[in-house]
Amino acid sequence: MTSAQFGDRNVSRETLERLEIYAALLEKWNKSINLVAPSTIPDLWTRHFADSAQVFDLAPGSGRWIDLGTGGGFPGLICAILAAEHAPDLSFAFVESDRRKCEFLRTVIRETGVQADVSASRIEQAKIEPGDIISARALASLDKLLSLSLPLMKANAVCLFPKGANYQGEVDASLESWSFSLQKTPSITDPNAVILSLGDIARA
C-alpha cells in the first residue's frame, strides 16, 4: 500500500503502517461483522480512509474529540491515527452501541498504539465528558445529529458531519429547530458530497 492510495496524502511511514494494520484488521473482521459494505473493500483507502481523513483536516488541532456511532471507525479512528502524528494534543472518545464493533475498535487501537477511549453504549446514554469536536458519518439526519450532540458538547464546540447530495435539505429542515454557523467544504472523494462544519449551535 502507498500513500498515493490515501488521497495523495503525505504521511509518515509510521502512520502508513498504522493504516495498513487497520486495513488488514478491517478486512479480516468484516467477514464476520458488518463493519463496511463488502463491495467497498476494494476501494477501502479512498471510500473510507481518505473520506474520513478530510474530516481531520477541518478540525482544531487540540481538544477532546467525540465520534458518534463510530462503527468500523469512520471518521473517528482514521482521525485518531492521523492525530498521533499531526495533532498529539487531541484526545479521542468513540461512542458505539454494538459491542462487537467496540471490540474491533479496541483491537485496532491496541494494535496501532493510538490513544482513544471506546464507550459501549447508546449515544443518548453515554456517560462521557463533553467534547470540543463532535463528528459522525452516515449516522442520522442533521436534525437528529444535533439533538444527539448537544448534551455532549462543550461551549464553543464544533460539529463535523460528512453529508451526501441531499445535505441542503437537511440543513434547511434543521434551521426550523436550530441556529448555528455553517461552513460547507466540498468532499474530495464524492463530487456531490460535503463536510458540514457547524458552530454556535443552539436550539432556535
Q: What is the pLDDT of residues 33-86, one digit of tens each?
A: 999 999 999 889 988 999 999 999 999 999 999 999 999 999 999 999 999 999
Amino acid at 53: A
> Judging by DSSP bridges, how do beta strands 194-203 and 178-186 pair with one another?
antiparallel
Binding-site residue numbers for S-adenosyl-L-methionine are 69, 74, 123-124, 137
Binding-site residue numbers are 69, 74, 123-124, 137
pTM above 0.85, yes or no: yes
Give the mean pLDDT of 199-203.
97
Sole residue written with cell 498504522: 18
% of residues, the chain, pLDDT over 90: 89
Amino acid at 75: P
Asked whether the beta carbons of 58 and 133 are under 8 A apart, the reply is no
Q: Render the burial of 159-173: b for 16+ CB within 10 Å, e for the rest.
A: bbbbbeeebeebbee
Neighbouring residues of 86: CB distance < 8 A, sequence distance ≥ 6: 56, 61
Give the mean pLDDT of 157-175.
97
pLDDT of residue 1: 42
Assign domain 3-203 to its CATH architecture.
3-Layer(aba) Sandwich (3.40)
- The C-alpha atoms of residue 128 and residue 109 are separated, in whole angstroms, by 19
Tally the C-alpha atoms within 13 A of residue 15's C-alpha that lie toward its C-beta: 21
Asked whether the beta carbons of 197 and 182 are under 8 A apart, the reply is yes
pLDDT of residue 3: 44
- The C-alpha atoms of residue 201 and residue 204 are separated, in whole angstroms, by 9
Nearest-10 Cα torsion for 84, 87, 93, 97? -70
DSSP 3-state assignment of 135? strand
Q: Tens digits of per-residue pLDDT, 4-20? A: 456 567 788 999 999 99
pLDDT of residue 9: 74
- The C-alpha atoms of residue 126 and residue 108 are separated, in whole angstroms, by 21
Angle at 50 between CA 44 and CA 158, to 5 degrees: 130
pLDDT of residue 12: 87
Residue 152 vs residues 33, 94, 109, 162, 200: alpha-carbon distances, Å: 28, 12, 22, 19, 14
